[in-house]
Amino acid sequence: MTQWGFYFNQARCLGCATCTVACKEWNEGRRGDAKFNTLTANQLESMATPEDWIAGKKNESINHDFLRHFHMKETWRKVSFFEFGDVAPNVAVVPLSLSCNHCSDPACVKVCPVKAIRKEDEFGAVLVDSEICIGCGACRAACPWHVPEYFEDLSRTKIGEERHPKMTKCDMCIDRLRDGLKPACVASCPGRALECGPIEELRRQHPDATVTAVGFAEAAVARTRPNVLFTSRTVKVK
């Protein structure tokens, strides 16, 4: 097996969350329920900003149940922001884009009581078998980055003819990789801050890359051996 992984250049990231949107669109469309997330013109007008749309901001003119369902669905790649400094102009905001790290020694695989999680042999992706998963949440609790998405409400909600899986997570867009394509998050990034490929090849391409970055849970690196590399952003505030 050739282990694949991600490279994230924190210095190039715009913090736009295009990777998050692309991930949602590809994976929900692949499952055939993208229409479940289609906002009407009236709903769009009721939202002040795209951030409000994603967060499901309270507004009496919108369908809260609809937005709750949208927000709870797959958000396999998340963009977080870390603030430094107190008073402008001596402040800095640093983005961090993370999905599953497809660890070489994944904690989620070890704790799953029904063996629903495994590392596949082609790309080393960590996958969840939704037919076996019982939705206990043990994998999310064990993951240092809380990657698995647990949908307690949506697991009881029918979408089309099937129920939504109890637990889902980033699968490295393995269907796209098999077709010779980049993962949706990588292909969509306007700042070209994301890359995906064999982890050793990424190390050769980015010899100065590290296994840590601003906001990344460094303490768990040695324990789970995540397959992600970073070029961290330098933060300078007085």
Higher pLDDT, 86 or 195: 195
What CA–CA distance (Å, rounded) separates 160 from 236?
51
Whether 236 is covered by a domain: the verdict is no
Whether 174 is covered by a domain: the verdict is yes
Q: How many residues does the chain have?
A: 238
**Residue that is written with structure tokens 């460094």 in the block:** 218
- Percent pLDDT > 70 in the chain is 74
Write down the pLDDT at residue 97. Answer: 95
Neighbours of 114 (CB within 10 A): 11
Q: Indicate the number of domains in the chain.
A: 1
pLDDT tens, 142-166? 999 988 887 654 444 444 445 556 7
Residue 78 CB partners (closer than 8 Å, separation 6+): 20, 97, 98, 99
Q: What is the CATH number of the domain that holds 222?
A: 3.30.70.20
Whether 237 is covered by a domain: the verdict is no
Write down the pLDDT at residue 48. Answer: 44
Q: At 16, list the tokens.
A: 């736009």
pLDDT tens, 13-68? 999 999 998 888 787 766 543 343 444 555 445 444 444 444 444 444 444 444 44
Write down the pLDDT at residue 163. Answer: 56
DSSP H or E stretch at residue 233: none
C-alpha dist (Å) from residue 19 to 11, 185, 216: 16, 4, 18
Q: Is 187 left (phi over 0), alpha (psi -120 to 50) or beta?
A: alpha
What CA–CA distance (Å, rounded) separates 65 from 73?
12
Name the least confident of 22-31, 84-93, 101-110, 139-148: 22-31
Write down the pLDDT at residue 51. Answer: 45
Provide mean pLDDT across the span 96-112. 96
What CA–CA distance (Å, rounded) separates 144 from 98?
12
Whether 157 is covered by a domain: the verdict is yes
188-191-197-202 Cα dihedral, nearest 10 degrees: 180
Q: At 104, list the tokens.
A: 């070489």
pLDDT tens, 154-201? 444 444 445 556 788 999 999 999 999 999 999 999 999 999 999 999
What CA–CA distance (Å, rounded) separates 18 from 106?
27
Give the torsion sign (CA, 16, 17, 21, 27).
Answer: positive
Higher pLDDT, 99 or 214: 99
Whether 164 is covered by a domain: the verdict is yes
Write down the pLDDT at residue 42. Answer: 55
> Residue 43 belongs to what domain range?
4-231
Please return the burial class of 171, using the count of CB atoms within 10 Å of its CB with bins 0-12, 13-18 and 19+: buried
SS3 154: helix
Q: Name the CA radius of gyration of the chain, rounded.
A: 18
Higher pLDDT, 26 or 70: 26
Whether 109 is covered by a domain: the verdict is yes
What CA–CA distance (Å, rounded) separates 82 from 79?
10
- Percent pLDDT > 90 in the chain is 50
